[in-house]
Amino acid sequence: ILKNLRYCNLYGTFYICSRWGILFSHPADYTPVCTTELGMAAKQAPEFKKRGVKMIALSCDSVTDHNGCLEDIKDSSGEAGDWPYPIIADKNRELAIKFGMLDPEEKDKAGLPLTARCVFIVGPDKKLKLSILYPATTGRNFDEILRVIDSLQLTATKKVATPVNWTHGGKCMVLPSIKKEDESKYFPKGVETVSVPSGKGYLRYTPQPE
């Protein structure tokens, strides 16, 4: 668990290095939805690791609260042993303010805003690739987050986009910027062009590139 927020930016740089990273915040420790989310994130940690993604969480609680709540999370999720990702104790809301994570509708007992259910995915170039904001009453779907990471990592290096409801291994779409005469160069497995009333051949599918 990170204690020194002054060094968080520097720590984050070394923590992620040249890898992908995910930062996800939760409103508060000892709350029902957050407990289920952090437990599921731990269960899915091997999947994030397989994709080369470093995980890190954050809330406006203290280190003491984090450590205490972790015992509840481990018990309810069945995840024992060392916790697979660090949790930032942003009690003074320094990072939450910088990253725009505060939810004005959700407040603690002192009337201070809590962190929302944010998801930030960062690429190896340290640039934000995706941000998702969930309301406090809606738990996140970590299967969907992994699906998004699969798409981001694929499309970062291949000249394809992923269509609606795509999952790893499914057909991809050829980028509009790829000329017809260059299809075989980039897509040796072939390209299927779907006929549409407009006659414009922009709906082009190809098997997922290796």
- As annotated, the active-site residues are 34, 125
Q: Which amino acid is at 187?
A: F
CB 42 within 8 A of CB 34: no
**DSSP codes of every residue in 67-101:** HHHHHHHHHHHT--SS-SS-EEE-TT-HHHHHTT-
Element (H, E) at 107: strand 102-107
Is beta strand 172-174 parallel, antiparallel or unpaired with respect to 204-206?
A: antiparallel
CB 37 within 8 A of CB 43: no
Q: Which amino acid is at 16?
A: I
